[in-house]
Structure 1
Amino acid sequence: MTGTTLGGRYEIGERLGAGGMAVVYRAMDLLLRRPVTVKVLRGEFTSDESVVRRFRREAQAAASLSHPNIVGVYDVGHEDDIHYIVMEYVRGRTLKEEINERGPLPAEEAVRIARQIAEALKHAHAHRIIHRDVKPHNVLLTAEGRVKVTDFGIAGAATGTTMTYAGALLGTVYYFSPEQAQGRYGDERSDLYALGVVLYEMLTGRVPFDGESPVSVALKHIRETVTPPREVNPRVPPAVERLVMKAMAKEVDRRYQTAEEMIRDLEAVQRRLSGWSAGGRPEPSFLGPGARDRTQVVGRTAPAGPADDATRPGDRPGARAAV
């Protein structure tokens, strides 16, 4: 693909990465003279008309989103059997790369990132767009501290499709909600469950459920009780743990019902963490009465969770879009 010009406008440059549905390239918009990211649908899906239709429909819907925490979709097109989405080029790295390199993030930083992801979801949900594939690989971090969520267009196209690229499916199932693991479509609350998983991983350095196959991981999301974050990393404040556990409730009615509701709790936690950190005092237990506080002992943290296709060797960790 490198050297190809799509639509007479987008000159394809270096390959930045690949996922289960698409290959991602840096490109140059020859008309506006600006760098862009081009996501090309994998060849094995181009013969499936239902996938192609969903790919285009979801991309067009995602293009309607305009928010500072969402990677913008500029264009969608096809040339012969090549179907592609043109997106904002973000110079940064994925949240998955950040976790893999650093391990557990400080609670204040993790909550700040989660709040920006929630703001992106709130905007998308208001436009009746569900992401359905919220994971650290689809979250970009800029050098300026901005969080950008990507892949709103392609996530919906993958729904209901048999994913032959096993690594990508395994990478996604770590963040499945129980209803998605049962084969149901999911709604806004599925996105919020996935955000709870992402926050869990930021705080502990590992995903809450692991397994040797996608099916085994999916069954754990349905049946098993998650290990509380503080049992993995005692530095996690009790209130942050409660927020994670509510987001990851197996019954949808016990979770956060809207992104706005989750944002309110994230804001409250963020304010309290910021205030106590500035004062040099230990983080308190808050957001709810009767919380059990445990001795703040720094223990051995768990190893980073398994990386999926988006972080396999060969992909550049620098400026790129998540896959």
Structure 2
Amino acid sequence: MLIACQKCPAQIEARLSGPGRVVRCQECHQLNAFLRHAPDGCIYFGDYKIIREAGQGANAMVSKVRYLPTGANRAIKMFCADEMSGHAQKEFMRESRTAMEMLHPNIIRVFASDILGQIPYVVMEFSSGFNMDQLLTKFGPIEQFDAMTIARYVLDALDYVWNEFLMIHRDIKPSNILLDKDGNVKVFDFGLVTGHEAAAVDLSAVEGTPYYLSPECLIEGAHLDNRSDIYSFGATLYHLIAGEPPFNYETLDQVINARLRESAPDLRNVFAHAHPAIVAIIQKMMEPEPDHRYFTAADCKQDVELVLAGQDPVNL
């Protein structure tokens, strides 16, 4: 049947049943959630009342919802099943259930995950605020010591996940780090983290411009560990302070080739007043060879905290 796209004038060919479906429009390429409308005019998804759409990712859309049994606000991320293989859906369930065990003040809590009808979904803590990408767009670069204050919390979250679950995030970037309305730093999308033993890279899944991916993440069949996340967060810190990502080239091929062949750019090339110790920390995080990076996020956090205290790093 043909259904009107919610984002553009196009018509979408979709077969709907049960609670609904998430479908991508082939004209505007935006995702649409076609869900059950109740007699009261509201939209529901299982035990959740949809309040508003909050954003879209590569293959999922996020909405603010109200959990009907308790009245609590939550965020629900609904995935487009048409863009997930059967194996990917099984991995999603396994990984998101592990994410439900993660209890850390700097990680967005995951409460539930399942597949309802044709929609895989994960239910998360709802936290109002701005992600780092939004802050960069709205206010420009972040003051370097403020960025390092944010870093100490993100590094603590990464260290916790690696030590407790032997998991990596694999998608650390500005848009996945939130500063909530109370000033708390939160990392999210850990519902899509990857187990160390299962971290084979599929280059066909690389979309957009991979400004933050580690070099080994761009090598077909590579297996990753926590040092890949450390690299990605180093690239994120560079962006927060410089106002532009490292290897800021125009095309995907240029970015990939630079990532594989070039050392990390010097932050001072775009921000002359960068503190030398901060430059050194970011370059250590972004060493092309994993063995030359910080061995753990805790080692990196120690250096960050020393710099914030006006002392010299000890793990470079």
TM-score calculated relative to the size of structure 2:
0.81
* Residue deviations 1:72-115 (CA, integer Å, cap 9, x gap): 00000121111100000011111111112222211110100111
Structural mapping, 1:142-221, within 5 Å: 142-156=180-194, 160=202, 162-163=204-205, 169-171=207-209, 173-183=210-220, 184-221=222-259
- 5+ residue gaps, structure 2, are 1-32, 36-41
- Give the alignment's Cα RMSD to 1 decimal: 2.2
Q: 1:149 to 1:61 in 2, by over 3 A?
A: same
Counterpart position of 1:287: 313
1:229 Cα deviation after fit: 0.5
Write the mapping of 1:107-122 to structure 2, written as runs, cut at 5 A: 107-122=144-159
Q: Is the 8 A contact 2:264 2:287 kept in 1?
A: no
The range that moved more, 149-158 or 133-142, is 149-158
Question: Secondary structure of the equivalent of 1:170?
Answer: coil
Secondary structure of 1:215's counterpart equals helix
Task: Deviation per CA, 1:271-290: give whole Å up to 9, x if none.
Answer: 118xxxxxxxxxxxx437xx
Amino acid paired to 2:89: V
TM-score, normalised to structure 1's length? Answer: 0.79
Q: How many residues align?
A: 271
- What percent identity do the matched residue pairs reach? 31
Q: Which residue number corresponds to residue 287 of structure 2?
A: 249
Shift of 1:227: 2.3
1:161 Cα deviation from its structure 2 partner: 7.5
Which has a greater percent of helix?
1
- After superposition, give the CA deviation of every residue in 1:39-64 in whole Å (9 maximum; x if it has no partner): 01124224x10111111111111111
Greater per-residue strand proportion: 2
Q: Please report how far the alpha carbon of residue 155 of structure 1 lies from its aligned counterpart in structure 2 after TM superposition.
A: 4.5
Larger Rg: 2
Q: What CA distance in whole angstroms lies between the structure 2 residues aligned with 1:65 and 1:155?
A: 11
Describe how 1:1-323 pairs up with structure 2 within 5 A: 1=33, 3-7=42-46, 9-46=47-84, 48-126=85-163, 127-156=165-194, 160=202, 162-163=204-205, 169-171=207-209, 173-183=210-220, 184-272=222-310, 286-287=312-313
8 Å contact 2:284–2:293 — kept in the other structure? yes
- Give the direction of change, closer, same or farther, for the CA distance of 1:155–1:71 in structure 2 (3 Å limit): same
Cα 1:137–1:267 shift into 2, 3 Å? same
Deviations 1:119-143 (A, max 9, x none): 1101111121110100011011112
Tell me, which stretches of 5 or more residues in structure 1 are unaligned? 274-285, 292-323
